[in-house]
Structure 1
Amino acid sequence: MRKPAAILLASASLVVATAAHAAPDVVVSIKPIHSLVASVMQGVAEPTLIVDGAASPHTYSMKPSNAKAVADADIVFWVGPTMEAFLDKPLDALGGKAMVVALGDAPGLEKLTFREGGPFEAHDDGDEQGEGHDHVTEEAHHDDHGHDAHEAHAHEGHSHEGFDTHLWLDPENAKAMVKEIEARLVAADPANVAIYTRNTLALLKRIDALDVEIAATVAPVKNKPFIVFHDAYQYFEHHYGVKVAGSITVSPETAPGAERLKEIKAKIAGLGATCVFAEPQFTPKLINVVTEGTRAKSGVLDPEGATLKAGPDLYFELMRTIATSLNDCLGKDS
């Protein structure tokens, strides 16, 4: 049976209207920020994730499917070239087609510089950094094309990237990134502003509740020092008051030398009974080397969600898993 012309015309109009209000094609680099973007976009569209599965952004190589996704994107969210070095050149090649958003430049972030010396291996980034928790707070500056001016400089030499980029491990930083994500999505897709706004408000409240929960989880063990595989946790440490006593390496793609392992083993022996945490993406053999002959226990921490399913809930699972792992290992009787 043939449809009346009026119905056909109405259907055609609906198709045109739908196409006119199509959601932007969004690509996100890594799981933790993909989770935040996916939460803000719920009910509109699903963003594409580049570093999926158990892969690590520290050692990742772009696949042809990743390159196509980036080339077709309207918006690309990433932390920045220090965290996702594999994306630096592909994003340069976009030639301004996509809005590229470096969430490492989001307004309101509290940034901590790399730690060096003693239990924290020197980080060769071309800058002179001191020990301890040095703070860097930067505001984003955006040009007329939606690219960060700060990011444009980053592509030239990365000399400003003297901060730890695992920013999401501080929930206040996660909230700052969520607000930036919302602002960029609203600018690109004003037709869905009501959904983005509603999702953002719900997400911020959910992060606040998570913050209270995690503080309670780690409270019994916050004064017990521990050793991590690489120095990725200082935002978590700084926010919750837990005590990272050292890291086996700063850059997980670079294996520590014999002297470094000897130094960390001595640190562990000096601490007595403690915990040494591996990461799921990297070999646990080094953990065995530094704990052999000591009273140290071992566990696993996953700062990037390698073992977790990508999606809106991943950020919350990631943070809870870190807190629970600390409590489980450090809370054991010595």
Structure 2
Amino acid sequence: MKKLLFICLSIFVLPLQTLMADETPKVVVSIKPLHSLVSAVMEGVATPTLLVKKGSPHAYTLRPSEARALASADLVIWIGHEMESFLEKPLETVAENAKQLELAEVLETSLLKTRSGVEWDEHEHHEDHATHEDHDEDHDEEHEGHEDHATHEDHDEEHGGHEEHATDEEHDDDHEGHKEHADHEATHDEEHEGHDEDADHEEHHHGVMDMHLWLDPKIAQKVVTETTKMLIDIDPAHAVQYQANSAKLTTKLAALDASLKQKLAPVKETPYLAFHSAYQYFEVAYDLNAVGSVTIDPDRKPGAKGISEIRERVKKTKARAVFSEPQFESSLVETIIEGTGATTGVLDPLGSDLAQGPDTYFILLNNLADNLVIGLK
């Protein structure tokens, strides 16, 4: 009888022991759009932990529960130091044993330069396309000649070191108008006293390269690829599931990209201002006509003079709309557009009010496109 009881218990206990031994990786992700992509890759295996559920990652403070999640993490996925600076010390101390996937590092060749100032020439972002490998072929004909100026080395060879002799008369002849442009910039600097300080703050706050890389579905596909590689590396037991999820996600991202391109085509020439320069990857991917932003740093509001300058920018460019963001005061935008004829709307690069999950990324980008179309049509 005892022997029979032992056999019966073994039948039920052994599978339980096997299930407990079959551990799944503990993954922590910094922001919601990334968390959505990682969740989709891990679907059917485990659910990653999200750190920044609401608000900006620039000034985030870790909660004790989030610190504990980092302490037990096998893998941490984040953009990089310029985006989530709050993670720098915890990753060195609390999560010192976890592997890291720093996307700004592994996707360095896909990054765009941070825009300077709050005023941009129409389609200014196209000049940086030479470093954005996903779009080079699409814009070769449209921007013929840009490739010749992709590097300073090419420029130096073409002009024989003229950069060292910027005041030479011969150089001025070769580059007619450059001196005038430089004088204009100097005058502009005097007229906008204090803007240099803002630019320095911007470079310190956001870095040289723009970190909002998730807003291009083609780059999101690269995020999926790198995430899948890392997960298979730390959890080979679930490699087949990760690969299947990745393939499914690839198809969905391609469909999203095609849908957004069609949706945004009617408004891609319409000028507008964003609250701050967080949407460059989205604007480049769909050839949108962003002509400036309300502020360099969303945590620092423009003064009365700054507001007056932005209002003039709206009138000069005939901007159809000035967009705010949910985590910042919309009253500032209302003040700016008063009497200009421009409308307003809300753009959210992080999906602050969205529930977290595998579908969040797709909802986020569709919302972004829908709100742009509503504001611009």
TM-score tier by shorter-chain length is: 0.7 to 0.9
Q: Please tell me whether Structure 1 or Structure 2 has the larger radius of gyration of its CA atoms.
A: 2
Q: Deviations over 1:3-57 (max 9, x none)?
A: 73234334443233223321111111100000000000100111111111x3221
Distance of 1:300 and 1:118 partners within structure 2: 18
- Cα pair 1:37 1:178 within 8 Å, conserved: yes
Letter in 1 for 2:322: V
Aligned residues of 2:70 and 2:95 also touching (Cα < 8 A): no
Number of the residue aligned with 2:21: 20
Does residue 281 (structure 1) correspond to residue 350 (structure 2)? The answer is no
What is the DSSP-based 3-state SS (H/G/I as helix, E as strand, rest coil) of the residue aligned with 1:115? coil
Distance of 1:264 and 1:132 partners within structure 2: 23
Deviations 1:292-330 (A, max 9, x none): 121000000011111211110010001000111111111
Q: How does 1:92-241 map to 2 (within 5 A)?
A: 92-94=92-94, 96-107=96-107, 110-117=110-117, 119=119, 132-133=127-128, 136=131, 161-241=207-287
Taking a change above 3 Å as real, the CA distance of residues 247 and 176 of structure 1, as seen in their structure-2 partners, is same
Tell me the TM-score normalized by structure 1: 0.84
- 2:290 is matched with 244
Amino acid at match of 1:133: D
CA distance in 1, matches of 2:234, 2:295: 40
Residue 213 of structure 1 and its aligned partner are, at CA, apart by: 0.5
Identity %: 41
Which amino acid counterpart does residue 26 of structure 2 have in structure 1?
D
Q: Counterpart of 1:226 in 2: which secondary structure?
A: strand
Deviation at 1:134, TM superposition (A): 6.0
Query: Within 2, Cα distance between the matches of 1:180 and 1:206?
Result: 17
Residues 243 and 159 of structure 1: is their aligned pair in 2 closer, same or farther, counting only changes over 3 Å?
Answer: closer
Q: Which amino acid aligns with 1:92?
A: E
* Letter of the structure 2 residue corresponding to residue 22 of structure 1: E
Which residue of structure 2 lines up, in the alignment, with residue 141 of structure 1?
none
Q: CA deviation at 1:160?
A: 11
Letter aligned with residue 255 of structure 1: K
More helix by share: 2
Q: Give a deviation string over 1:113-139, Cα, whole Å, max 9, x none.
A: 11114615xxxxxxxxx995365579x
* Mapping for residues 303-322 of structure 1, pairs under 5 Å: 303-322=349-368
State the 1:81 CA deviation. Answer: 1.3
Q: How far apart are residue 96 of structure 1 and its match?
A: 3.0
Which structure 1 segments of 5+ residues have no match? 121-129, 139-157
Once residues 206 and 354 of structure 2 are traced to their aligned partners in structure 1, the CA distance between those partners, rounded to angstroms, is 32
The residue type equivalent to 1:257 in the other structure is G
Structure 2 match to 1:67: 67
Matched AA of 1:188: I
